[in-house]
Amino acid sequence: MATSVDGTVRWLLEQEARALLTRLGRVKPFALQETMLPAASLSPAALIAIERLLVDGRYELRQQVFAYLRWLRGAGSTATAEELQRRFTRVRLRFNNALSQFDSFSEVITQRSESETGVWLSGLDVFAADALTLPGDYYEAPQVICYLARGPGAAIRRARTRIPGGALSPVALVRVPRERMVGHAIGSSLVHEVGHQGAALLNLVPSLRASLQARSARAPAAERQAWAAWERWISEIVADFWSVGKLGIGSTIGLIGVVSLPKWYVFRLNADDPHPIPWIRVALSCAVGDALYPDPQWRKLSALWEAMYPLAGLDAERSRLFAALRSTMPEFVRLLVTHRPSALRGRTLAEVMPLAERTPRRLAELHRLWRHDRTALREAPPSLAFAALGQGRAIGELDPEQESRTVGNLLTFWALRSTLDITEVCAVSQTARRRAPKPAVALVPAT
How far is Cα 153 from Cα 421, in angstroms, rounded to an integer?
32
Check residue 166 and give its pLDDT. Answer: 76
DSSP 375-408: HHHHHS-HHHHHHHHHHHHHTT-S-HHHHHHHHH
Q: What is the pLDDT of residue 162?
A: 85
CA distance 91 to 276: 43
CB 102, CB 164: distance < 8 Å = no
Residue 119 contacts by C-beta under 8 Å, 6 or more apart in sequence?
A: 37, 39, 40, 411, 412, 415, 416
Phi, psi dihedrals of residue 147, rounded to the nearest 5°? -150, 165
pTM: 0.83
Contact 422, 44 (CB under 8 A): yes
**Which tens digits make up the pLDDT trace of 146-170?**
988 877 678 999 999 888 767 888 9
Please tell me the predicted confidence (pLDDT) of residue 75.
Answer: 87
Rounded to a whole number of angstroms, the CA Rg of the chain reads 27
Separation between Cα atoms, residue 63 and residue 52, nearest integer Å: 17
pLDDT score of 424: 47
Q: How far is CA 35 from CA 24, 25, 41, 43, 109, in A?
A: 21, 20, 9, 15, 10
Question: Bridge-partner residues for 46, per DSSP?
Answer: none
**Which parts of the chain sit beneath pLDDT 70?**
1-3, 28, 30-37, 152, 165, 184, 422-447
Residue 255: name the closest of 271, 265, 270, 244 by CA.
Answer: 244
Round to whole Å and give the CA distance between 188 and 183.
Answer: 10
Q: Check residue 321 and give its pLDDT.
A: 94
